[in-house]
Amino acid sequence: VPNKVYQCMGMARAVITADTPAIREFFAPGHHLETVPTGDAAALADAIAALARDATKRHALAAAAVQHVSAHFSPVPVARRFAALCEEAARS
């Protein structure tokens, strides 16, 4: 997942990005962000135009994004996950 995705979501901005397995692993397209097929300029233009016209959707994506990123990818949850991984590695 590109760092810019986390950064923009953390700033409560609606994000449009390429639809990849990594994006789908960490985010719910249509809920946390919008996705388009990789390299599809027309789909990207359509997605931008659609969000530009739909302030309600833009705000809903932004709100869900900032909540999700804060809950799962800010320093405290990341540190907790890292500590748990370290404890698991130490036990094995």
**Per residue in 25-50, pLDDT tens?**
999 999 999 999 999 999 999 999 99
The confidence score (pLDDT) of residue 53 equals 98
The confidence score (pLDDT) of residue 39 equals 96
Strand residues in the chain grouped as ranges (E): 16-18, 34-36
The confidence score (pLDDT) of residue 36 equals 98
Give which of 38, 24, 27 is closest to 67, Cα–Cα: 27
Q: Find the mean pLDDT for residues 49-71.
A: 97
The confidence score (pLDDT) of residue 70 equals 94
The confidence score (pLDDT) of residue 73 equals 93
